[in-house]
């Protein structure tokens, strides 16, 4: 397969998303990018990795020149192409919640990881392209769910000051309805504090509770390419400090939920960290 096809399709996705993140053309382009990725990956071999994460197993794709992709969670990676057709149709018909939480999460995970691993194999040190793709993918799913396009900056009106705050996605459901602040990150690492800081600004400017923060992430795995060991990098104690002292995020959703963050659901005060598929099922309760 011509390696450039994935990049070309990705550029088309980009331009459709920028025109209208809500459009069914974006769904179509996402599906096309994924098909190209699967074609590319079919020509790759796989290699088992050493998992340092309890209860998770990983493999990586390897291309003909021996290059190795990021880690892929075995249990979440789907190979049945029937499921994925149902998934795109469900987005188009706005009926994603008819699929189970696990199905949504795993299909999203597989689609996103297909693209990320292909970029790993085609490019060197490119974190930006997977990150931007992930924003489009997640942005499109939220946009079709809410039925409105996101904004990416907010007016900060404050007496004599009139500034703009750049944000990740903001979905404003209208007067007397919730507004959603949705930062999207493939992984968080040490920069995640900016998510709580932005939430704090929104709380300060508009009033606490008006913006519901839903941080949405891919995973926290890190593969050591020399030893082939895969770990999850998590900072649960710091997250608790941020949630206590900076601002309150309503939910943190993951496509591949890290084991150590899962535990934060059960210590008081709780941080609610769930699989991304949960959003489509628990949505009504977020509005209460």
Nearer to a copy of itself, 177 or 191 (CB): 191
Nearer to a copy of itself, 205 or 233 (CB): 205
Nearer to a copy of itself, 183 or 277 (CB): 183
| Nearest of 286, 255, 231, 282 to residue 114 by alpha carbon | 255
Distance (Å, whole) CA 271 – CA 74? 27
Contact 25, 16 (CB under 8 A): yes
Q: Computed over its alpha carbons, how large is the radius of gyration of the chain? A: 19
Closest distance to a copy of itself from the beta carbon of 135 (Å): 15
Helices (H), the chain: 4-19, 24-42, 81-92, 101-122, 128-146, 193-206, 236-245, 259-262, 276-286
| Nearest of 54, 59, 57, 55 to residue 70 by alpha carbon | 59
Axis-axis angle for helices 4-19, 101-122 (nearest 10):
130
Tokens of 70: 């990021």
Closest distance to a copy of itself from the beta carbon of 240 (Å): 7
Nearer to a copy of itself, 12 or 246 (CB): 246
Closest distance to a copy of itself from the beta carbon of 277 (Å): 30
Closest distance to a copy of itself from the beta carbon of 283 (Å): 29
Nearer to a copy of itself, 147 or 204 (CB): 204
Nearer to a copy of itself, 50 or 165 (CB): 165
Footprint of a copy of itself (CB under 8 A): 156, 158, 161, 163-166, 190-191, 193-194, 196-198, 200-201, 204-205, 237-238, 240-242, 244-246
Sequence-separated (6 or more) residues with CB below 8 Å from residue 249? 195, 196, 199, 213, 214, 215, 243, 271
Distance (Å, whole) CA 141 – CA 152? 16
Closest distance to a copy of itself from the beta carbon of 237 (Å): 4
Nearer to a copy of itself, 50 or 197 (CB): 197
Closest distance to a copy of itself from the beta carbon of 227 (Å): 22
Closest distance to a copy of itself from the beta carbon of 80 (Å): 40
Q: Is the dihedral of CA 187, 192, 194, 197 positive or negative?
A: positive
């Amino acid at each position: 397969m011509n390696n450039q096809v994935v990049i070309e399709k990705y550029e088309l996705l980009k331009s459709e998303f920028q025109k209208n993140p809500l459009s069914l053309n974006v769904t179509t382009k996402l599906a096309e990018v994924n098909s190209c990725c699967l074609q590319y990956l079919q020509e790759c071999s796989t290699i088992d990795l050493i998992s340092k994460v309890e209860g998770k197993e990983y493999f990586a794709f390897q291309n003909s020149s021996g290059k190795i992709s990021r880690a892929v969670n075995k249990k979440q990676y789907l190979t049945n192409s029937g499921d994925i057709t149902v998934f795109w149709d469900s987005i188009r018909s706005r009926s994603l919640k008819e699929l189970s939480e696990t199905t949504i999460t795993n299909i999203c995970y597989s689609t996103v990881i297909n693209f990320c691993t292909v970029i790993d194999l085609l490019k060197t040190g490119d974190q930006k392209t997977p990150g931007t793709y992930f924003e489009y993918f997640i942005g499109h799913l939220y946009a079709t769910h809410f039925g409105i396009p996101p904004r990416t900056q907010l007016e900060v009106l404050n007496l004599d000051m009139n500034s703009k705050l750049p944000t990740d996605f903001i979905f404003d459901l209208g007067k007397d309805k919730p507004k959603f602040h949705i930062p999207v990150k493939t992984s968080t690492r040490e920069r995640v504090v900016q998510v709580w800081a932005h939430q704090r600004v929104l709380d300060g400017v508009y009033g606490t509770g008006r913006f519901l923060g839903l941080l949405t992430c891919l995973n926290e795995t890190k593969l050591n390419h020399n030893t082939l060991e895969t770990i999850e990098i998590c900072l649960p104690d710091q997250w608790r400090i941020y949630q206590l002292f900076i601002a309150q995020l309503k939910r943190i959703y993951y496509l591949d939920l890290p084991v150590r963050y899962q535990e934060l659901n059960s210590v008081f005060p709780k941080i609610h960290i769930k699989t991304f598929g949960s959003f489509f099922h628990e949505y009504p309760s977020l509005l209460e």
